[in-house]
Amino acid sequence: MPRIPGTHVGTGPDGAEIFRPIIIVAIEIGGRGIRVPALVDSGADNTLVPEPFVAPLGVDFRKLTAGPGGLGPGGGLETRLCQGVIRWEKEKIVLMTSFMVAEPGKGPETVLLGRADFFRLYVPRFHWHKNPPVFDLDPVARNG
C-alpha cells in the first residue's frame, strides 16, 4: 500500500499550512458517475456525502429514505440513505454500496469516510508530524 501525502488545502489564520488526508473516489449511481475528494475522518461515525455531489447523478434528496440524522460541531444535520457505489479508483476497490447523504446546504464540503464502513476496510495511520504530512491506508486483510 503506497503512502499518500496529505492534500494542501490552504493556510490557517495562524499562518500554518493545512493539509488533509484526502483520496479521490468515484460515486456511481444509475450508470452515472462523478469523481470527488474524500476525507479519511476518524471522527465520522458513517461515511457522509454532500448533496451537491449526488445531485448531478440525478439524486433528489427529498426522495431518499430518512436516516438517523447527525450532530457535529456545525450543528444538527439531516441525513438520508442513498444506494450507490463509492469506489477508490486508484486501488480499484468498491468501498461501499450505500451511504448517507447530508441535507442540501449543510454538512461537509467533501465526502467523509467514516468508521462504520471505510475503517473496516482500511487501517489509517496518520503521520502529521512529517513535513509535508503523509498517511497510510493499509488494507484490513493485511493487518488481520
Partner 1 sequence: MVVEDKTRDEGLVHEIEPAVQEELVKHPGKWVALTRSEVIAIRDTPADAYAAARLAGIESPILYHVPDPRAGYSYF
Amino acid, res. 61: F
CB of 142 to partner 1, least distance (A): 13
Torsion of CA 95, 100, 135, 28, to 10 degrees: 40
Quick note: the x/- pattern for partner 1 over 50-89, rule CB under 8 A, is x-xx-xx---------------xxx---------------
Region of 29-37, 59-67, 92-100, 115-123 interacting with partner 1 (CB under 8 A): 29-37
94 sits near partner 1 (criterion: CB under 8 A): no
Task: Give the angle 94-88-42 at the CA atoms, nearest 5°.
Answer: 95
Assess contact for 112 and 131: CB atoms under 8 A. Answer: no
| Choice between 65 and 75, CB closer to partner 1 | 75
